[in-house]
Amino acid sequence: MVDKKELKRRYKETRRPMGVFRILNKENGKSLVSSSVNLPAVFNKIRMQLKTATYLQNSRLQRDWNELGADAFELEVLEELEPPPDSPSWDPGEDLQALEELWLEKLEPYDERGYNRRPKTLS
């Protein structure tokens, strides 16, 4: 017989892939770059929200999805972040943010090239 508590414990201890991802519009090349501590979960969430027209984080992306359909888009992992060895209390927040900023700098998915909002510049 399967012990539900043991299965739950194992599930919670299983490391989820984390890192930077992008949603690529294959029709026009626009993309949205973001990061997550749980890539499979965020992919499922985003797909469901776009499919049900409830993706409130980016109306331009939702509009294009509605017009072009799911087949025009690809969700891809740009880079995974591995936890440092022997660091059980490591918080990936800052590292994920830095990695995301590097990819934003590299791809520049702003304005006509993408769905991300251009960062505000300090004057």
For the whole model, what pTM was predicted?
0.84
pLDDT in tens, 88-108: 788 899 999 999 999 999 999
Q: Where are the domains of the chain?
A: 16-80+89-112
CA 8 remoteness from chain centre: 25
pLDDT given for residue 2 in this prediction = 72
- CATH number of the structural domain 16-80+89-112: 3.40.1440.10
The pLDDT-based confidence of 8 (bands split at 50, 70, 90) is confident
pLDDT of the residue at 89: 81
Write the pLDDT tens digit of every residue in 12-58.
667 789 999 999 999 999 999 999 999 999 999 999 999 999 999 99
Q: Which pLDDT score, from 0 to 100, does residue 17 have?
A: 94
Q: Mean pLDDT across the chain, nearest whole number?
A: 91
* Percentage above 70 pLDDT, the chain: 94
* Residue-wise DSSP of the chain: ---HHHHHHHHHHSPPP-EEEEEEETTT--EEEEEES-HHHHHHHHHHHHHTT--TT-HHHHHHHHHH-GGGEEEEEEEE-PPPTT-TT---HHHHHHHHHHHHHHH--BGGGBSBPPPPPP-
Q: Which two tokens stand for residue 81?
A: 């972040």
Predicted pLDDT at 11: 63
